[in-house]
Amino acid sequence: MVFSVQAQKTNKVQKIDSIPLINGVTVQADVASIISSAFTSKETYSSEVAVQVDLKHKYFPILEVGYAGANKISNENITFQTNGMFSRLGVDLNLLTPKKDQKPTTNLFLAGLRLGMSSFKYNFNNFIITDTYWGGSETLNYTNISNTKIWYEIVLGIRVEVVKNIFMGWSVRTKNLLNQDVTGQISPWYIPGYGINNGSSWGLNYTIGYKLNIHSKIPIVKIKPGSEVKKKSSKITK
């Protein structure tokens, strides 16, 4: 009886992710706020831009900055005026998952969170106080009242590539203040970046953006020698 042993070497391919960590940077402007300020709203105005980074085509950190203000005259002829910068920092998650071995689509269905902040000054003028007992009245003006507001937003939206590297999209968002008005202080009617100060607020954005082709390098596929695999064969002789 004779036994023979054969040895065979195998190569093992290490699988890596073919999507780079940084998969582009999109610069975009909100068209909805510009149209609303120019044509529909007579009391408020706003404009904003954003920069968003594509990480693995899954996570999208974003920075939004803008300028907004308001000029309001009430039925009692009380005037409110404010303007200031605002910013929001957050991240979106792409809810579209490509199938196995399928190239990721450039269209996005996004859900995300934002943390917003605005430091601003505002004026209330032409407060008329009437003394019903003694008669007479007094006009009060409050100017350069400083305030800082912080809020969070929940965002849901879509973005599609209309032509190469040009994207259009819309999003809706609900906004909730994290710091409330100080007792005894005259509250602002409008908060830049947040909207009318009347509890929770909501917003609609319609954006146009351009994607810069900034990518991190994809690692080179590495081939590691595998361990030796032994196969035994036997031959029986008499």
Query: What phi, psi does 191 have (nearest 5°)?
Result: -120, 120
Which has the closest alpha carbon to 150: 123, 114, 124? 114
Position 222 confidence tier, pLDDT thresholds 50, 70, 90: low
Tokens 């071995």 correspond to what residue?
101
pTM for this structure? 0.80
Residue 65: the pLDDT is 98
Query: Which CATH architecture describes the domain 20-221?
Result: Beta Barrel (2.40)
Higher pLDDT, residue 122 or 199: 122
Residue 97: the pLDDT is 83
Question: pLDDT tens for residues 69-94?
Answer: 999 998 888 999 999 999 999 999 99
Residue 20: the pLDDT is 81
Please calculate the CA angle 89-91-93 and round it to the nearest 5 degrees: 165
The answer on pLDDT for 7 being more than 50 is no
The answer on pLDDT for 226 being more than 90 is no
Alpha carbon distance 46, 69 (integer Å): 7
Domains of the chain by residue range: 20-221
Strand pairing partners for 44?
70
* Average pLDDT for 157-172: 96
Which has the closest alpha carbon to 208: 145, 142, 149, 160? 160
Question: pLDDT tens for residues 122-134?
Answer: 999 998 888 777 7
The answer on pLDDT for 147 being more than 90 is yes
Cβ proximity of 198 and 189 under 8 Å: no
Tokens 């093992």 correspond to what residue?
12
* Average pLDDT for 213-221: 69
Q: What is the average pLDDT score of the chain?
A: 85
